[in-house]
Amino acid sequence: MTKLRRKVYMVAGYNTISMGTGRKEFHPKKPRPDLEDYIKEAGQAVLKMIGGAKNVDETVIGNFIGALFNRQANMAAFAPMIDEGLRYKPAIRVEGACGTGALALATGIKSILAETAEVALILGVEVQNTVKAMYGADILAAAGWAKERKTGHAYFFPGKFSDRSKAYAEKFGADKTRAAMAKWYQNAIENARLCPTAQEFHNNTNDLIACGMNKPNPKGFVDSLNFFDCSKVSDGASAIAIVSEEGLKRCGISKKDAVEIIGFGQAEEDITKPPADHTKLSTTKVAVEKAMQMAGITKEQIGTVECHDCFTIAGIMATEAIGFAEHGKGPDFVIEGNTSRTGSVPFNTTGGLIGWGHPTGATGVHQAVTIWEQLTGKAGDAQIEIKPEKPYGLTINMGGDDKSLVSIVYKRAE
């Protein structure tokens, strides 16, 4: 794998509130922020930290499916709305289902590497609470193969990962798999309670394990997942700046406030084909291997991970795809506490998709913001210890059912 030809940094991360059920401010029948409100809030916050729009060469906006949720396309043209200083500057909108955010990051990284930009403003956004849940499930099914929609489950993507959960439980044991999924949920909510912008920040349920252990109800939902196994419908935006060394100087930002991108991997799988093995995230594995190979590191050097836990089973399978656990041993790895915030490799320290929320186009950017906060000591109450022997952060953002993948390796800039 080719090494990066020049230094690439990320600075000035910002997250809006992840809005949806669970937040005290959320009410389905009351007015809430709209798409442009989230774009403006996140974009202006980053511009303030990097010295203003004059320092930006281009903007990348990640949005999955605003054309259906919001009847809005041409998202790139919202860039000048953020600040008039972005007027007439290049902007692009990218899409890759739930992996859209990291594709926006990858687009910015490539612009810095190509020397067509020294400072790129990256923003991910989604507003999904505009329709009822069942209609939303139908819209989100576009992340899969459209021709499967008529024969798929009414809750299309929960159905897809229910199939994975069922296959995994049948192969490796239902009780242990369910216990690990419950533990994953507990970790997600406990971490979200430490992050004021998280959708589950206000969750004060006492027995989280009991919630996670609820028996799935196929008549009301899907065969092998309960509602607590699923990330929620979320509205929000996340933004960050990707810069070169020249960009750091231009923005007046010290390296102590930056993280360096030292490797990234992209991988794509055929959307028309079902998984070869429902118990493996094969494309995730390839993307992570590419990222770590480019970075020149091993899994033992990773201090924290932000993975795409759209469903609890996806988080467990990600531990295996990265290589922390052997195939079939992911549940043991989770149950033993390795992925908790005090474990050997803390996962999703602000709650992940299940705890922080999953505004689809923003998720990959939120992951990068969380890693930036952790590696630079800016995570507040959610801060974990980054040990010298494990200085690297890893993100994994997935589009569809393990179809469009981007993984990135980070370290604190020196």
Q: Determine contact, residues 121/90, Cβ cutoff 8 Å.
A: no
Q: Are residues 63 and 192 in the same domain?
A: no
Stated pTM of the model: 0.97
Q: Retrieve residue 224's tokens.
A: 């092998």
Residue 405 lies in a domain: yes
CATH number of the domain to which 398 belongs: 3.40.47.10
Domain housing 291: 155-232+262-412
Q: Are residues 106 and 207 in the same domain?
A: no
Residue 139 lies in a domain: no
Which value, to the nearest 10 degrees, does the dihedral of the CA atoms of residues 83, 89, 95, 98 take?
Answer: -40
As beta bridge partners, residue 409 has: 263, 394
Residue 149 lies in a domain: no
Residue 372 lies in a domain: yes
> What are the residues whose beta carbons fall under 8 Å from the beta carbon of 151, sequence distance 6 or more?
none
**SS3 at position 279:** coil
pLDDT at 213: 98
Q: Are residues 102 and 208 in the same domain?
A: no
Q: Are residues 252 and 268 in the same domain?
A: no
Per residue of the chain (414 residues), give pLDDT as tens. Answer: 578 989 999 999 999 999 999 999 999 889 999 999 999 999 999 999 999 999 999 999 999 999 999 999 999 999 999 999 999 999 999 999 999 999 999 999 999 999 999 999 999 999 999 998 878 888 999 999 999 988 888 889 999 999 999 999 999 999 999 999 999 999 999 999 999 999 999 999 999 999 999 999 999 999 999 999 999 999 999 999 999 999 999 999 999 999 999 999 999 999 999 999 999 999 999 999 999 999 999 999 999 999 999 999 999 999 999 999 999 999 999 999 999 999 999 999 999 999 999 999 999 999 999 999 999 999 999 999 999 999 999 999 999 999 999 999 999 999
Q: Give the domain-ending residue among 206, 224, 257.
A: 257
* Residue 190 CA: distances (Å) to CA of 44, 208, 250: 30, 9, 39
Give the HSE-up count for residue 388: Cα atoms under 13 Å, Cβ half-sphere: 0
Q: Are residues 26 and 105 in the same domain?
A: yes
pLDDT at 1: 52
Q: Are residues 244 and 161 in the same domain?
A: no
Q: Determine contact, residues 183/334, Cβ cutoff 8 Å.
A: yes
Name which of 8, 28, 103 is nearest 362 in CA terms: 103
Q: Are residues 279 and 307 in the same domain?
A: yes
The identity of residue 328, as a single letter, is G
Residue 364 lies in a domain: yes
Q: Are residues 205 and 238 in the same domain?
A: no
Q: Are residues 86 and 175 in the same domain?
A: no
Q: Are residues 252 and 293 in the same domain?
A: no
Q: Determine contact, residues 68/139, Cβ cutoff 8 Å.
A: yes
Residue 142 lies in a domain: no
pLDDT at 5: 86
Tokens 């922390």 found at: 324
Number of structural domains the chain divides into: 2
Q: What is the biggest distance separating any 2 CA atoms in the chain, rounded to whole angstroms?
A: 59
Q: Are residues 239 and 226 in the same domain?
A: no
pLDDT at 24: 96
Residue 141 lies in a domain: no
Q: Are residues 349 and 402 in the same domain?
A: yes
Residue 137 lies in a domain: no
- Name the phi and psi angles at 389, rounded to 5: -80, -10
